[in-house]
Amino acid sequence: MDIAIKTINLTKKFKDITAVDDLNVEIKQGEIFGLLGPNGAGKTTTISMLCTILKPTAGSAQVNGYDILKEPEKVRRSIGIVFQQPSVDDILTGFENLRLHAMWYGVPKETREKRIDEVLELVGLQSRQKSLVKTYSGGMRRRLELARGLLHLPNVLFLDEPTLGLDPQTREHIWEYIEKMSREREMTIVLTTHYMEEADSLCDRVAIIDQGKIVVMDAPDSLKEKVGGDIVYLKTTAADTNKFREIKEVSKIEKKDDCIILTVKNAGEHLQEILEISGKVESVEVRSASLEDVFINYTGKEIRTETGEGGIVQRIIKERTVR
Amino acid sequence: MSQAEAIYALWLREFKVFTREKSRIVSSIFTPMLWIFVFGGGLGSAINIGNVNYQIFIYPGILVMSVLFSSVFFGVYVIWDRKIDILKAILVAPLSRTTIFVGKVLGGCTDSMIQALIMLLVSFVLGIYLTVSSFLLAITILFLLALSLVSTGLIIGSLMESPEGFNMIISFLIFPLFFFSGALFPIDNLPIWLSFITYINPVTYGVDALRMAIIGVSQFPLYVDLIVLTGFAVVMFTIGTRSFERMK
Ligand SMILES: Nc1ncnc2c1ncn2[C@@H]1O[C@H](COP(=O)(O)OP(=O)(O)OP(=O)(O)O)[C@@H](O)[C@H]1O
Ligand SMILES: [Mg+2]
């Protein structure tokens, strides 16, 4: 299989911060690759270097076979990007934004209008295409940005938190389209997200990065397997946590507030034993490991997304001491 | 010719922004009008320069002023584009930095020339009779000036990070360029120090040439003015391309 992106000791330092630290990744053509990591992990910086916006401090990378340092223009021609911070032009209409973009990317005149129509339909902005972008809501801006990234059918598409702040329906719609693009056009997609279920269902492979380094990289399913079983939540204050070690299938014990969290292989079969050790509990919950558990496992941080006032999505990442 | 189309697209964006922000035109026309009608009209009621009324004498100078201010000031929009993240989208597109620079320069020149055309209409109010050839000459001179000065503004814009910093730099640049250009006084009998500064100021040659085109008086031969103006434009344009190449 062809390699779409290959980084070689890619490094970026900002003064005393090493944002990206000696990154070596290979991403295959047609792959959907997820970059996960807490705030400040270096996801955006990595993407910026691959898009030739930022120059690496050391190392290099190839995108679509072009060197990001030696052939930046060729790299740029072959990629599309949706920025974390929307970069659509407020004082132009949605249609004008797309039209100018098509001209910058040399989308032929004959197919231009058709492509614009297609992407507008995809993101559901046809009815607002003639309005100035400054009259758009935050979610509409993101959708326009996404439409713009897809407009010239790039070989590699970078999506820096593409679905942040979008309503569930639009998100699902966009997921479908991303999958379709990757399947039908063999488009390579690199995305960052803080929605673990999004990464889980979309990505062929994910890399969890923290402080500029890859902590772990694999297919979501393999990663979940590595957690080592299912997760059991026991709501109780009574039990002595050390006693759970008697069950050899328990691979991890955590205590948090009035909860005990166990990682257990085939938890269903051992529930009886667990409850015998714990004694009286207020409640029990058993579920299979999710990508979120993987994330917590490797970064020691918990990701939670909450919808705050006015529908603005706020992200809360809590430090948690893992014992 | 995809680069030509890309340049057109970049220009189109600037042009649309310009036409949608009407306040930009109004405010950039307002100050020169005050100069012509209040300052020029006031002093003109008492003063002639040679046998030219003072108001008529400074009219070409004020035309140059309006182009000077709007052209150099155009550079600040690069900083705004960066602030609101639009520049990023342009820089990540497969456009060479030269293409981006040319698109921006043409956008800025268009803004300035539209203002210049409006200002040229004032000649009718002042009772100045412009022939077609003097009109065309005036347009050429103003365009050369706009080209150099938009480039100058863009160079500063590409180096600065904040609009405040830009404003400070240009007030140290624009006002001297204006006051030392002979826009407001004849330059044939100046004290040595003043005449020295005036002679090395390229804007002086714009004012001089325009005075020739509009009222038929000048200090230097027209071809000298045009050579200086063309040279100035070539130099600033070249430096501008380089500075965009280097811009982050
Ligand atoms: N222009 C800059 N100057 C200095 N430091 C920077 C700059 N850009 C990023 N950084 C630093 O580099 C680190 C990585 O930032 P980056 O934006 O890549 O994180 P991220 O993984 O995208 O985070 P988020 O999830 O919040 O988007 C951070 O510590 C950040 O403070
Ligand atoms: Mg980021």
Contact A142, A88 (CB under 8 A): no
pLDDT at residue A145, as a whole number? 92
Residue A323: band (very low, low, confident or very high) from pLDDT cuts 50, 70, 90: very low
Residue A45: band (very low, low, confident or very high) from pLDDT cuts 50, 70, 90: very high
- Whole-number Å distance between alpha carbons of A72 and A65: 11
Give me the percent of chain A exceeding a pLDDT of 70. 92
Chain B residues close to A79, C-beta within 8 Å: 92
DSSP structure string for B80-117: HHHHTTHHHHHHTSS--HHHHHHHHHHHHHHHHHHHHH
Bridging pattern class, strands A213-218 and A205-210:
antiparallel
Q: What is the pLDDT of residues A231-289, one digit of tens each?
A: 888 888 766 777 788 887 888 888 877 888 888 888 888 888 888 888 788 888 888 88
- Whole-number Å distance between alpha carbons of B154 and B87: 13
Q: Which residues numbered 139-198 in A keep a CB inside 8 Å of some CB on B? A: 148
Contact A19, A13 (CB under 8 A): yes
pTM of the predicted model, to two decimals?
A: 0.86
Task: Provide ipTM, 2 decimals.
Answer: 0.88
Chain A residues close to B20, C-beta within 8 Å: 91
Query: CA of A87, closest CA in chain B: separation in Å?
Result: 5
Number of A/B CB contacts below 8 angstroms equals: 63
Residue A176 has which token pair? 């479908």
User: Tokens 């992407």, residue?
Assistant: A119
Q: What is the pLDDT of residues A268-284, one digit of tens each?
A: 888 888 888 887 888 88
Task: Count the neighbouring beta carbons within 10 Å of the beta carbon of residue A60.
Answer: 16
Q: What is the pLDDT of residues A54-97, one digit of tens each?
A: 999 999 999 999 999 999 999 999 999 999 888 999 999 999 99
State the average pLDDT over residues A295-315: 51
pLDDT at residue A311, as a whole number? 29
pLDDT at residue A174, as a whole number? 83
What is the number of residues in chain A? Answer: 323
Q: What is the pLDDT of residues B30-85, one digit of tens each?
A: 999 999 999 999 998 888 888 889 999 999 999 999 999 999 999 999 999 998 88
- Whole-number Å distance between alpha carbons of A209 and B95: 32
Task: Count the neighbouring beta carbons within 10 Å of the beta carbon of residue B129.
Answer: 8
Residue of chain A with shortest Cα separation from B100: A104
- Whole-number Å distance between alpha carbons of A80 and B180: 49
pLDDT at residue A20, as a whole number? 94
Residue A315: band (very low, low, confident or very high) from pLDDT cuts 50, 70, 90: very low
Q: How far is the CA of A38 from the centre of ligand 2 (A)?
A: 9
State the average pLDDT over residues B206-232: 95
**8-state DSSP, A93:** B
B4 CB within 8 Å of a chain A CB: no
Domain boundaries, chain B: 3-246
Q: Is the pLDDT of residue B25 over 90?
A: no
pLDDT at residue A302, as a whole number? 63
Contact A41, A192 (CB under 8 A): no
- Whole-number Å distance between alpha carbons of B164 and B175: 17
State the average pLDDT over residues A216-228: 85
List the Cα angle A95/A100/A102 in 5-degree steps: 95
Residue A303: band (very low, low, confident or very high) from pLDDT cuts 50, 70, 90: low
Q: Is the pLDDT of residue B200 over 60?
A: yes
Contact A109, A75 (CB under 8 A): no
Q: How far is the CA of A298 from the centre of ligand 2 (A)?
A: 19
Residue of chain B with shortest Cα separation from A74: B94
Q: Is the pLDDT of residue B1 over 90?
A: no
Instruction: State the alpha helices, DSSP H only, in A123-219.
Output: 138-151, 168-185, 196-202
Residue A322: band (very low, low, confident or very high) from pLDDT cuts 50, 70, 90: very low
Q: What is the pLDDT of residues A145-202, one digit of tens each?
A: 989 999 999 999 999 998 888 888 888 888 888 888 888 888 999 999 988 888 999 9
3-state secondary structure of A317: strand
State the average pLDDT over residues B12-24: 90
Strand blocks (E) in chain A = 3-14, 17-23, 26-28, 32-36, 58-63, 66-67, 79-82, 156-160, 188-192, 205-210, 213-218, 230-235, 250-256, 259-264, 283-288, 301-307, 313-319
Atom of ligand 1 nearest to the CA of A46: 18
pLDDT at residue A164, as a whole number? 85
The reply to whether residue A87 touches residue B93, judged by beta carbons under 8 angstroms, is: no
Q: Which ligand is nearest to the CA of A35?
A: 1
- Whole-number Å distance between alpha carbons of B146 and B141: 9
